[in-house]
Structure 1
Amino acid sequence: MPTIIYPPSIPWSWMFQRPQQLLGRFSASGQTVLYEDLGNFSNPGISPLSPSLLLCQGTSALTVPHLRPRILWLTVPSHINLIENYDPDLVVYDAVDEPKEEFASWAPYYPTILEKADLIICSSGSIYDYFITRHPHVHLIPNGVDYVHFSPSPPYRPTDLPTGKPIAGYSGAIAPWIDWELLKVVIQENPGINFVFLGALFQLNKFPLQFKNAFYLGLKSYRELPTYLHHFDVGLIPFLQTEMTKGCNPIKLYEYYAAGIRVLGTPLPELLTIPKINLEINPQLFSLRLRHLLEEKDLHKAERMAYAQANDWSERAGRILQHISKRANTNRNSV
């Protein structure tokens, strides 16, 4: 079985996103995964999460005895310059965002990625469209969800959730790509709705909204996140329409759907084909649609949950491992 190494990019216990989900699934499928955790560790060492998933905290994955082929899994473009440090048999670049606006600093590394990556995985259609004309081994694998984690009804209600009104909730990075001006209008027009925001501040110094019916509850652990989502009446994806967000395939969409809740967002390209989603770009129409959703009977919960179940991370990881195996075999046969 191959060994997959992930250089320090995202703290394992931070917002549990695509890298942790996929690498965890790779491990569950029998691959050895050496995850170089990001952070300052007073006692550097190896922390096993399972026999085949090891957190390397303050120490190199190369100190862990492991079998080849050695696969280097990259999500940070600048890490393409670390290839020689790891002496990998295969380099996979997982492209998760457009190198524009908030991530414009990524763009200078793309020529090297095109030259040195053996395999490129893309999380959205626009990212795939860029790479497919420039590299011979490119595959579109959107984001997904841990359906078993998010679908069961929770046994309790978190005590910091506001009460007495329906909840329109947002879970994810509290970031500049959220349409804060739209939200200001919507929140002011709907004093009878509580707006709840969960997640870490990203490129922002403070939470941008100050309204009596807007609540920022901070970053919640992945373990407790479903207990919050199940108490949302509507899940929000209020993103700006930009060159960067056109490449966003929001993980929160799948998590909302797995929890069974209705979703209202702005019309990002990646959301246009999602069944039973609600999309508006005009603040007044967004506000009106939100009120209608809360007044209407929900007839499509089962369909939304079935969509989430069909898009589980295990399905995504399985497809990626097939591509890795095929590419690794091609590399071995060409030697």
Structure 2
Amino acid sequence: MKVLFLENLPYESDVRVGSHHYAARFAREGHDVLWLSHPISPLHFVRRVKRDLAVRVRAWREGPLQVDGLAWYAPLVALPPADAPLLKSRCVYEGVARLSVPPLSSVLAKAGFASCDVVWLTNPYYAAFARAVHARCRVVRVADESSAFKGVSPVVAQAEADAIRDADVAFAVSAPTLERVRALRPDAVGLPNGVEFEHFARGGDEPPEYAQAPRPRVVYVGATEYWFDADLVAACARAMPHAAFFIIGPASSRVAAVLGSVPNVRLLGPRRYAYLPRYLAHADLGIVPFVRDEMIDAVHPIKVYEYLAAGLPVVATRWTELERMNAPVRLVDRSGFCQAVFEELASPSCPRDARIAYAAANSWDERFAAVKEAVEAVIGTARA
């Protein structure tokens, strides 16, 4: 099969999301896979606001690049769709393919993807383009409440709704999102996130950044955008000067300003996915200090599975989807977060074996089996 992924992040991003794992598994089974990341534009070179800009530029200049048995590419467009004057119009949004340099249709044709067996849409900005690609099966995977993100064009919500109605298969990652998607199509399928269990369970050597750090060690892995409660982490670190707090992931200027001066907080920046198990294996606690809002309420957190696969106890602020997961995690309101961190470091509330077993039961292999079943049912019908 030929499978086209229309995504947000580059395939070679340090941050790996669900589609990375599905694309890799399609490729591992011998299918031809092409991954398109969110487009770059001249504005990104002026404002440098887009994560992974250097790797995106390389994929545009030299791509499609070959990685992990699949190909990926980052288009360059003249005008990027955005929540800004002139750029948030539907005309600009639907012109992504036409305004790309070189034309995206020619890139696909050259790569052998003028028509596909499966078009897999996660990034709503590609919805109009996805409709123009001939495919036997159209999949929409709704991974987040996209319209709840700051700075997202209001056009996105309508485009995503249209794509959901047009799809052959609609997946939703969280229960709140599934409820919304089923209002558009009752046959939508719940497809939670998962974990590369063996990857995170294997551990590894102690990372060099830990060599001079005392124990206990508290770790956070992931994005530090506006939903990351840097003030809460700073308060906990100051209350526990005997502990070392490690923040792994791109640090925004706001987070650097809040945490950069706290002596026992270390902002490590991004680390390659291949090395993350080492940082978890030699830590004592994983944290998820999120500010609750509409977007967070619908997040099904991959990092929780990864912490648990490494055997870590976890403290997280409480939100709707995380409560529904019923994971062996200490869930607290913001006011009780630091006390919970202190208590879990002293005496974890859940046995290590239970944490690991929960992660093992939620692997990406299990999720991919459900994906294949749904896709093959459509393609089999189309073939008949």
Which of the numbers 313, 318, 332 marks the counterpart of 1:267?
Answer: 318
In 2: Cα distance, 1:101 partner to 1:67 partner: 32
- Structure 2 CA distance for partners of 1:202 and 1:92, relative to 1, 3 Å: farther
In 1: Cα distance, 2:73 partner to 2:349 partner: 46
Match of 1:12 in 2: 11
In 2: Cα distance, 1:62 partner to 1:44 partner: 16
TM-score, normalization by structure 1:
0.89
For the 8 Å contact 1:44–1:57, the answer to whether it is kept is no
For the 8 Å contact 1:35–1:61, the answer to whether it is kept is no
Which of the numbers 81, 100, 105 marks the counterpart of 2:148?
Answer: 100
| Bigger relative contact order (CA 8 A; separation at least 6) | 1
Corresponding letter in the other structure for 1:147: F
For the 8 Å contact 1:241–1:268, the answer to whether it is kept is yes
The Cα shift of 1:276 comes to 2.1
Match of 1:78 in 2: 125
The Cα shift of 1:317 comes to 1.0
SS in 2 for 1:191: coil
SS in 1 for 2:294: coil
Match of 1:36 in 2: 36
Superposition pairs for residues 194-213 of structure 1, below 5 Å? 194-201=244-251, 206=256, 208-209=258-259, 210-213=261-264
In 2: Cα distance, 1:275 partner to 1:100 partner: 25
1:137 and 2:136 are equivalent in the alignment: no
SS in 2 for 1:306: helix
In 2: Cα distance, 1:62 partner to 1:319 partner: 30
The Cα shift of 1:188 comes to 2.2
1:149-180 alpha-carbon deviations (Å, 9 max, x no partner) = 110131x2111235123111100011111123
In 2: Cα distance, 1:43 partner to 1:286 partner: 46
Corresponding letter in the other structure for 1:44: E
In 1: Cα distance, 2:338 partner to 2:131 partner: 52
Mean CA deviation greater in 141-150 or 100-109: 100-109
In 2: Cα distance, 1:203 partner to 1:130 partner: 34
Match of 2:333 in 1: 281
Residue identity over aligned pairs, in percent, reads 25
Mean CA deviation greater in 215-224 or 108-117: 108-117
| Count of aligned positions | 329
SS in 1 for 2:72: strand
Superposition pairs for residues 94-243 of structure 1, below 5 Å? 94-98=141-145, 99-102=147-150, 104-105=152-153, 106-154=156-204, 156-161=205-210, 162-201=212-251, 206=256, 208-209=258-259, 210-243=261-294
- Structure 2 CA distance for partners of 1:329 and 1:317, relative to 1, 3 Å: same
Structure 2: give runs of 5+ residues left out of the alignment: 39-55, 76-103
Corresponding letter in the other structure for 1:234: L
Q: Which structure shows the higher helix fraction?
A: 2
The Cα shift of 1:248 comes to 0.3
Corresponding letter in the other structure for 2:233: L
The Cα shift of 1:117 comes to 2.1
The Cα shift of 1:147 comes to 0.9
TM-score, normalization by structure 2:
0.79
Corresponding letter in the other structure for 1:17: V
The Cα shift of 1:143 comes to 0.6
The Cα shift of 1:203 comes to 9.0
1:197-248 alpha-carbon deviations (Å, 9 max, x no partner) = 0012469684642311111100000111111111221100111111000110
The Cα shift of 1:66 comes to 6.3
Mean CA deviation greater in 124-133 or 56-65: 56-65
Corresponding letter in the other structure for 2:280: L
Corresponding letter in the other structure for 2:121: L
- Structure 2 CA distance for partners of 1:297 and 1:265, relative to 1, 3 Å: closer
Mean CA deviation greater in 185-194 or 216-225: 185-194
